[in-house]
Amino acid sequence: MTVVSLAGSALTYWAGHTAGHKGLPRLVPARHLDRIKACLHRAGGGATVAAAVLPPPFPLTAFVLTCGALDLNRWRFFLVFGVMRLIRFSAAALLARHHGEYLVQLLGSAELQRTIVTATVLACMATTASGAILWRRTRPEPA
């Protein structure tokens, strides 16, 4: 898993490096670009450590593109990035090994499935009711 992550990150880094500093705004949304640049200038390698272990709402692709465009030392970047990804994936594997059987049993329980179905039905009913109310309020008056 770490090797595949590094391969994908290498392609992304290369795309950022190829685009360069001038082409970066086309690849990375402005709301992410300024924060990533500031974080890289302030934290340096610490930013790479954090980016490699943070879970998915973190804009990892934007971060790696920016690192490539800013021409960070690629050997140091990939060494730190690879080690931290290895740590993250190893921790996830250990947690899955330790708690996996319990989670499979929990997710297979009829009680949890009934609770999930009930919550989903209630959420759908609430969404439908609020949509109907909004539609009724915004509908033009008959002439």
Residues in the chain: 143
pLDDT tens-place string over residues 16-43: 888 888 888 888 888 888 888 888 888 8
Can you tell me the distance from the alpha carbon of 30 to that of 68, in angstroms, rounded to the nearest whole number?
A: 17
Residue 127 or 81, more confident = 127
Nearest in space to 66 (alpha carbons), one of 29, 104, 99? 29
**pTM value > 0.85:** no
